[in-house]
């Protein structure tokens, strides 16, 4: 019994970290730096609102998937035959394209940290992620890697905070009463929501818990705890990063728009800060490569017996293709525009599916009752996310310009 409790504890923490580190990719770092530069201390309000919305998304999705014991694509297929294949296609395509960007982020991390050429960085970043899935107990290795690298990111960013001395009092005040005004911050809130729980990220932790067998109503308390822990870890990194960059821009310094996060670390803490950023970027990229590959393949394995049988090799192939495409293209800007548009569409569809499923006894069981407050807040988030999805479609026009 004690052994099972310990094993569950490891899986719960692992699920929280894979969700959090999947959200903390290279785009997360750039996004946070850009918005902090634009809105300064008022960005704290954006973080606060996006956290609350993300909690609503994760608690709804994790509850439905883990109580039913079914992955996202299976819940969708149970609701409407064929819908699961559509959801899986969106998630896998979005995950693959973002993974190409994650490999690029890993190469930039190696370049900033050690001065390695980008081509060597692409191969090395992909190879590290592949090595995780080649190990005998890949899921345990994945849990360990995301915990260790997630911890490294938190410590390194905290050191930079100590060096740059941000105006913490002003940040706290504007988190609740933003001087920029709430209406002006709305687009940033929607963007952050998609970046924190969009696409495959929503499912990363829940699918990990299902793989660990932590399902059904009796485990609901643990499921809720793990989902909030995942949001909490991503939030700590976001807040620390916000404060580190605020300490630079509050002094009136302007960030390089091409790489605002690296420039903030460099201006704030000199050469050491620049190398620190390389380490943070490398950790963020590698954990996101692992999370995207694991979750994307988990969307295929119940729809295909071949994928289920060769899951490890399909995951490795997923990472290898991402690495190869990145090495050939060099700058996958066009693909990232497409991925952004896809991810904007995925959240309202997947959350909407989970909300409808939460009311179906054939999926949730006879004695399960979904909290009304969670359902109502979930519907509001679907409407917000749908608005984001429609606006993100305008990005597709750039592909054919």
- Looking at residue 80, its pLDDT comes to 92
Q: Do 119 and 329 form a contact (C-beta atoms < 8 A)?
A: no
**Among 13, 9, 23, which residue's Cα sits nearest to residue 241?**
23
Q: Do 192 and 31 form a contact (C-beta atoms < 8 A)?
A: yes
**Among 285, 358, 344, which residue's Cα sits nearest to residue 66?**
358
Domain boundaries, the chain: 8-398
- Looking at residue 1, its pLDDT comes to 47
81: left (phi > 0), else alpha (psi -120 to 50), else beta?
Answer: beta
- Looking at residue 346, its pLDDT comes to 81
Q: 258 φ, ψ to 5°?
A: -70, -30
Report d(CA 277, CA 295) in Å as an integer: 27
Segments of 232-340 assigned E as strands: none
What is this structure's pTM?
0.88
Q: Do 26 and 193 form a contact (C-beta atoms < 8 A)?
A: no
Q: How far is CA 141 from the centre of its chain?
A: 19
DSSP-derived secondary structure for 311-343 = HHHHHHHHHHHHHHHHHHHS--HHHHHHHHHHH
Tens-digit pLDDT string for the chain (401 aa): 444 555 577 788 889 999 988 888 888 888 888 889 989 999 999 999 988 988 999 999 999 999 999 999 999 999 999 999 999 998 898 888 889 988 988 998 999 999 999 899 999 999 999 999 999 888 889 989 999 999 999 999 999 999 999 999 999 999 999 998 877 888 788 778 877 787 788 899 999 999 989 988 888 899 989 998 988 898 899 899 999 999 999 998 888 887 888 899 999 999 999 999 999 999 999 999 999 999 999 999 988 999 999 999 999 999 999 999 998 887 655 555 566 566 667 888 899 999 999 999 999 988 899 999 999 999 999 998 888 777 666 655 554 44
CATH architecture, domain 8-398: Up-down Bundle (1.20)
Residues 112-115: contacts with CB within 8 Å, 24+ apart?
A: 112/262, 112/274, 112/275, 112/277, 112/278, 112/281, 113/275, 113/278, 113/279, 113/281, 113/282, 114/278
- Looking at residue 399, its pLDDT comes to 46
């Amino acid at each position: 019994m004690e052994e099972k409790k310990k094993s569950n504890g490891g899986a719960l923490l692992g699920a929280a970290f894979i969700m959090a580190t999947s959200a903390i990719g290279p785009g997360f770092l750039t996004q946070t730096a850009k918005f902090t530069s634009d809105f300064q201390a008022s960005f704290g309000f954006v973080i606060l609102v996006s956290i609350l919305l993300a909690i609503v998304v994760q608690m709804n999705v994790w509850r439905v998937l883990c109580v039913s014991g079914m992955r996202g694509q299976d819940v969708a297929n149970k609701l409407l035959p064929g819908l699961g294949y559509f959801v899986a296609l969106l998630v896998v395509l979005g995950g693959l394209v973002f993974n190409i960007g994650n490999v690029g982020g890993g190469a930039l991390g190696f370049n900033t940290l050690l001065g390695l050429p980008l081509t060597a960085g692409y191969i090395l970043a992909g190879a590290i992620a592949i090595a995780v899935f080649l190990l005998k107990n890949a899921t345990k290795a994945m849990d360990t890697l995301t915990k260790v690298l997630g911890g490294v990111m938190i410590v390194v960013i905290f050191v930079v905070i100590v060096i740059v001395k941000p105006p913490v009092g002003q940040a706290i005040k504007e988190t609740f009463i933003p001087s920029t005004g709430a209406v002006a911050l709305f687009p940033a809130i929607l963007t952050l929501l998609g970046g924190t729980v969009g696409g495959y990220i929503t499912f990363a932790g829940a699918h990990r818990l299902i793989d660990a067998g932590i399902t059904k109503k009796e485990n609901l308390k643990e499921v809720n705890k793990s989902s909030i822990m995942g949001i909490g870890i991503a939030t700590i990194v976001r807040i620390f990063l916000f404060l580190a960059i605020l300490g630079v821009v509050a002094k009136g310094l302007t960030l390089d728009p091409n790489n605002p996060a690296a420039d903030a670390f460099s201006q704030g803490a000199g050469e050491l800060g620049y190398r620190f950023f390389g380490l943070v970027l490398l950790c963020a990229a590698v954990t996101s490569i692992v999370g995207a590959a694991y979750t994307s393949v988990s969307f295929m394995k119940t729809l295909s017996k071949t994928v289920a049988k060769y899951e490890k090799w399909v995951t490795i192939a997923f990472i290898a293709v991402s690495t190869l495409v990145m090495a050939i293209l060099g700058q996958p800007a066009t693909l990232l525009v497409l991925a952004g548009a896809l991810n904007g569409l995925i959240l309202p569809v997947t959350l909407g599916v989970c909300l409808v499923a939460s009311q179906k006894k054939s999926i949730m069981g006879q004695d399960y009752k979904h909290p009304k407050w969670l359902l109502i807040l979930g519907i509001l988030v679907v409407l917000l996310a749908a608005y984001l999805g429609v606006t993100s479609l305008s990005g597709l026009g750039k592909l054919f310009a």
